[in-house]
Structure 1
Amino acid sequence: MACSKSFQRSEDFFSNVLDIVCDRILEHLPICIAAQTSVLSKQWRRAWLSLKKLNFDADFWGAVVRRSDWQKCSCIISSVLFHHNGPVHDFHLYIPRNTNWDGRNLSQWICFLSKNGVQKIVITNHYAVVGFVDISSYIFRCSELVYLELINGFYLNSPPTDFTGFPMLKHLLLENIMFRNQNNFITLIGSCKMLVTLKLVDWLGMDHVVIDAPSLQTLILEGDFQSLAFRNVRSLESISLHLNTIREKLQTAKVVNAVNLLASSCQLQSMEFNGLLCKFLAGVGIMNSTSVTFKHLHKLCLSNLNLNDFSVFRYLLSVIDCCPYIKTLDISLISASKNQINPGENVGQRGFDFNYNYKLHHLREVNIKSIMGSTAELKFVEYLFAISVVLENVFFKAGEPGVESELKISKALMALPRASPKARLFSKRNWFGADDEIWL
């Protein structure tokens, strides 16, 4: 009798939980566990079918079925969607490796989402060994989208003729996507007037990249292109450009104009170029003139630089000369001992005179990764110390592991004169871990 009363009180408790509390609990549970709450009471029986966020992630695959059985998982996803009550604001789909996925049912799912107020779609495909899969044209009917992320192995077709854009889309991330038509991407972002973040990585089917987005604040481009153009990017604050290969058809003038336009058409605060792009720009002589100045730039990141390539070395100095207001400088280096400049050779004797009259009056932090201690690298750091009058912190990580290499680099850097008496040197054995402080 006591057990019966206890059970009744427990049932009453679960039945009387407010709907909003129920929703909050369910939204923090994996979907498989959320489904199991249906046995708690009548109120909970169908509560999980009103979840606004549906996350079919790696945990879903592990909990429901063997990863290779896509057909069974597909039936479960379809059943959840088609029995769902109310709007679906957030939809995540993870497709693992070693599945037999063929893209079926995806069109039906996106069609369902387009009719149920979806605001965020994230589809990550790790099973991209059988070629690209079409993203249904229903994606263009998701008029309330705010966030769209498609990763690995999808075709993006042309929008339908009646497509007027995603009026609320703010974040667009596309990786390893193939465009059916050169103009697909231009049409897509040109119709997204609220777009704030754009990340485009390793795309196919588009050689001429045109960025036209008046509200865009953050841009990440990593891939191959023949030409690059910026139109109406007045709101751009952060840009990261990574070039994977230097093609023979790379249109030098258009790329140079695009980079120069960044200095005059927007108020960039953060800029990152990778080593291959720097090598290309160094070869065409960009930024050798002081007429190009990034007046609003606070952070400059240059990755995978080989300073033993003298054209890259000179380019680096030219870029710094064009960024007089930077507060943070991040540089990662690549070096091979066979390419190192002879230790007795003076970089200045190779045709470049350092401009010690130029000063950086705002630079306070410098991060240098993978420094090997070649003459070119030390000459650059020496020049940087000499022109940075308010420098406070210099973080470095040696290019070779081991205490001996670290001490060697530390000794070489500490021996360099500096303009700022506040400058301190920090060694980072683990870039994301604790620092070993070494005073200059």
Structure 2
Amino acid sequence: MKAQRQSSDRISNLPQDIIEKILTFMPIRDALKTSILSKKWRHCWKGMPKLVFDDRLSNVSSDMEDVKKYKLVITIFHVLLLHRGPILELCICISDEEIFNEIDQIILHLSWSKNIKKFIFEVYQFDEYYKLPSSFFSLQGLEHLFLKYCIIELPSTFNEFSMLKSLKFYEVYITATMLKRFLISCPLLEEFTWIGYDCLDFTGGNKCTFVELFTCLPSAQVVNISWFENKDFYAGVMSQKLPTSLVYLRILVLQVCFHEQDQISSTLCVINSSPNLEKINLRMIRYVAQTCTTLLDPQDYFGLKLDHLKELVITSFHNYASEMEFVKLIMGKSPLLKKTRIKLSTSVSVEEEVKMLRDLVYLQFPRASPEAKLIIERPKTLPAKAVKF
């Protein structure tokens, strides 16, 4: 009977590191409960390489906010103080909790660790952002960092995140000067995502343009940047190329407005400086009650070469002249292009779509890749139309 019981408990007989990885797929509250299964399981959770602290930690009803806050904070400290072994991945995603002071202490405790490789951090309290404490910048072992609803102010003692490869900012408030300093301090950065709504502070003489931002990303392979309401961000494009070529950039994702000449010039400056681009993904936007009078002259980009581009995706395409000229320019400069996917804006009528297809199919303009497919997608309900050149 004893041999039979041992053979039936296959999970307990797994190596310790395998058990720890299995526990990381469970909510941490459930992982802690495994300690009561047996003596063997009592300490298994303490070696979990991945910890996720979120609202599921506390199952107290919403009308007991003080108790919920207390239980949440106590649980986090309990886990961190009893945990043994390296924490390779840490996730803190907590909303509607007034625990900013306690979070400061948690980060201070974590700052002594050099093992954290991936940190996902989001503490959201309505309209209030969380200011990262100076101790956060002691996490020198970070390779992947995701921040949301935070305020960043670099301490004077900060040198660099020398190991950081992936950086994602969502609604992160930072001055223009601090942003450039932060990016320059990440020499190995391969992926950068910035999604925000006018979160770049230009006050007090701070300045950072779209083009200057890319000069701080010489090693980036993937860049995803949303649009900014502040027009100064796109100003000051003086040439068609950056001072330094973005030779590693493979995927470029941008939110742009082709109503604005500065945004057109900035976008094409980056594309023209990225000889190894494989995918361009643009989401077109327009300012309300503004007509498009800006035109793009392909002759200005006679030397543009996109010898590695395979895919062009444009969403919210409004069928403006500048947008159409951009599509023709890219298709004329990309000999390996396989697919151009255009997702129409809801403002484009069926008649406009037919005219657009007719212009693209029948009007003569240089097409570098005879194999390229042109796919036109209407919003949601109607099926896509595909044309192969």
TM-score class normalised by the smaller sequence: 0.7 to 0.9
- 1:46 aligned partner: 43
Work out which of the residue numbers 16, 19, 31 in structure 1 matches 2:16: 19
Q: CA deviation at 1:271?
A: 3.2
The residue type equivalent to 1:374 in the other structure is E
The residue type equivalent to 2:37 in the other structure is L
- TM-score normalized with structure 2 length: 0.75
Q: Distance in 2 between matches of 1:402 and 1:246?
A: 36
Q: CA deviation at 1:80?
A: 1.4
1:394/1:75 Cα in 2 relative to 1: closer, same or farther (>3 Å)?
Answer: same
> C-alpha deviations, 1:39-98, integer Å up to 9, x for none?
12112112212222111235445xx334552332122112211222232221111113xx
Matched, 1:377 2:356: yes
Higher gyration radius (CA): 1
Q: Distance in 2 between matches of 1:123 and 1:275?
A: 28
- 2:229 aligned partner: 245
Q: Could you tell which deviates more after superposition, 238-247 or 36-45?
A: 238-247
Counterparts in 2 of 1:144-159, with a 5 A limit?
Answer: 144-152=141-149, 154-159=150-155
The residue type equivalent to 1:245 in the other structure is E
The residue type equivalent to 1:159 in the other structure is P
> C-alpha deviations, 1:110-168, integer Å up to 9, x for none?
12222233222111234333x2222121112212122221111x22222242x332222
Matched, 1:280 2:278: no
The residue type equivalent to 1:367 in the other structure is R
Query: Number of matched residues?
Result: 364
- 2:120 aligned partner: 122
- 2:252 aligned partner: 271
Q: Is the 8 A contact 1:91 1:121 kept in 2?
A: yes
Counterparts in 2 of 1:35-434, with a 5 A limit?
Answer: 35-61=32-58, 64-66=59-61, 68=65, 69-96=68-95, 99-116=96-113, 117-129=115-127, 131-152=128-149, 154-161=150-157, 163-179=158-174, 182-202=176-196, 203-206=199-202, 228-231=212-215, 233-247=217-231, 249=232, 252-253=235-236, 255-257=237-239, 260-261=241-242, 264-266=245-247, 268-276=249-257, 278-281=258-261, 295-304=275-284, 311-312=293-294, 314=296, 322-325=304-307, 326-335=309-318, 361-370=335-344, 372=348, 373-374=351-352, 377-378=356-357, 381-382=360-361, 386-388=365-367, 389-399=369-379, 401-402=381-382, 423=388
Q: Distance in 2 between matches of 1:310 and 1:387?
A: 25
Q: Distance in 1 between matches of 2:234 and 2:21?
A: 53
> C-alpha deviations, 1:254-292, integer Å up to 9, x for none?
x454x621784535433344332x332368867999xx6
Specify the SS of the correspondent of 1:32: helix
Query: RMSD in angstroms over aligned alpha carbons?
Result: 4.3
Give the fraction of aligned pairs with identical amino acids, expressed as a percent. 20
1:205/1:360 Cα in 2 relative to 1: closer, same or farther (>3 Å)?
Answer: closer
1:144/1:241 Cα in 2 relative to 1: closer, same or farther (>3 Å)?
Answer: closer
Q: Distance in 2 between matches of 1:294 and 1:78?
A: 47
Specify the SS of the correspondent of 2:192: strand
Q: CA deviation at 1:322?
A: 3.3
> C-alpha deviations, 1:378-409, integer Å up to 9, x for none?
46524787533513422221248447xx7xxx
Q: Distance in 1 between matches of 2:302 and 2:61?
A: 54
1:329/1:194 Cα in 2 relative to 1: closer, same or farther (>3 Å)?
Answer: closer
Q: Distance in 1 between matches of 2:266 and 2:9?
A: 74
Q: Is the 8 A contact 1:263 1:295 kept in 2?
A: no
Q: Is the 8 A contact 1:159 1:188 kept in 2?
A: no
Q: Distance in 1 between matches of 2:193 and 2:268?
A: 29
Q: Is the 8 A contact 2:168 2:193 kept in 1?
A: yes
Q: Distance in 2 between matches of 1:195 and 1:363?
A: 27
Q: Structure 2: 5+ residue runs without aligned partners?
A: 322-327
1:324/1:383 Cα in 2 relative to 1: closer, same or farther (>3 Å)?
Answer: farther
Q: Distance in 1 between matches of 2:186 and 2:262?
A: 34
